[in-house]
Amino acid sequence: MAHLAQTLDGKIAAINGDSRWISNEANLKHAHRLRSLHDAVMVGAATASLDNPKLTVRLVTGKNPIPVIIEGQKDLNFDDLQMIAIHEKTIVLYPQGKQRQKLPEAIKEKILAIPISPGKDAEQKPVLYPADILKVLYENGISSIFLEGGGQTVSYFLQTDSLNLLHLHFAPLLLGSGRSSFTLPVVDSIGEGVRFQMKHFDLEGEILMELLPNHKDV
């Protein structure tokens, strides 16, 4: 499942990547609870570097999930990432064949780097297919994944029918610019949009939408 906290105009961060905090404390706690209910918590490379999240469950009682980063074309600065310092092991998925930097000696033991044979997206850019990501993680003992952003990563899972459930939190905030929650292929008709079954909840004055893609039957 995935979760994003967004503004009323569908932004998850300012253009420069600042996103703290769009939502209220109740949502942060909710996100920590969701982390604790899954085997792994996964983020895209931009979220890992811009947010530098700890990915712990410190606001609730429970066990920390295994952090997973999807590394793309750019190299991450692993020395700076808090999650690597905090967790025993962090899984880094990267496109097979990529010329990667050598992992720093001091944190080498804490990173399980797994290559995945990349495919091509609509713009011929190499991507890791969500089905391959899920398969590799399953082979490594992970059977439930909480995808915590950012927008590009969640969009790619959504677009490939790889999400069972999406939690979208709405904060009463407008930016008028910023990084989008969703970037999907252009459609020519409303019927081609992704429609959901929906429940909504009040989270201390803000709204959480629980969205079930129409084709899913959970």
128 contacts ligand NAP (rule: CB under 6 A): yes
42 contacts ligand NAP (rule: CB under 6 A): no
* Out of 1, 5, 163, 168, the residue judged to bind ligand NAP by CB under 6 A: 5
Give me the helices (H) in 57-198, please.
82-86, 130-139, 151-159
Locate 164 and state its tokens: 């069972």
* Out of 65, 67, 72, 213, the residue judged to bind ligand NAP by CB under 6 A: 72
Phi then psi for 128, rounded to 5 degrees? -90, 125
Residue 64: DSSP 8-state = P
* Out of 25, 52, 58, 74, the residue judged to bind ligand NAP by CB under 6 A: 74
206 contacts ligand NAP (rule: CB under 6 A): no
Find residue 199's DSSP bridge partners: 210
Nearer to ligand NAP by Cβ, of 81 and 127: the residue is 127
Contacts of 40 (CB under 8 A, 6+ apart): 65, 66, 67, 68, 91, 137, 142, 144, 145, 146
Nearer to ligand NAP by Cβ, of 7 and 105: the residue is 7
Query: Could you give the CA distance from residue 102 to residue 88 in angstroms, rounded to a whole number?
Result: 20
Residue 177: DSSP 8-state = S
Nearer to ligand NAP by Cβ, of 79 and 121: the residue is 121
- Contact between residue 159 and residue 9 where contact means Cβ atoms under 8 Å apart: no
Nearer to ligand NAP by Cβ, of 66 and 154: the residue is 154
207 contacts ligand NAP (rule: CB under 6 A): no
Nearer to ligand NAP by Cβ, of 6 and 36: the residue is 6
4 contacts ligand NAP (rule: CB under 6 A): yes
What's the sign of the alpha-carbon dihedral 82, 46, 115, 32?
A: positive
Instruction: Point out which residues bind ligand NAP (CB under 6 A).
Output: 4-5, 12-13, 17, 19, 22, 43-47, 50-51, 70, 72-74, 127-128, 148-153, 156, 179
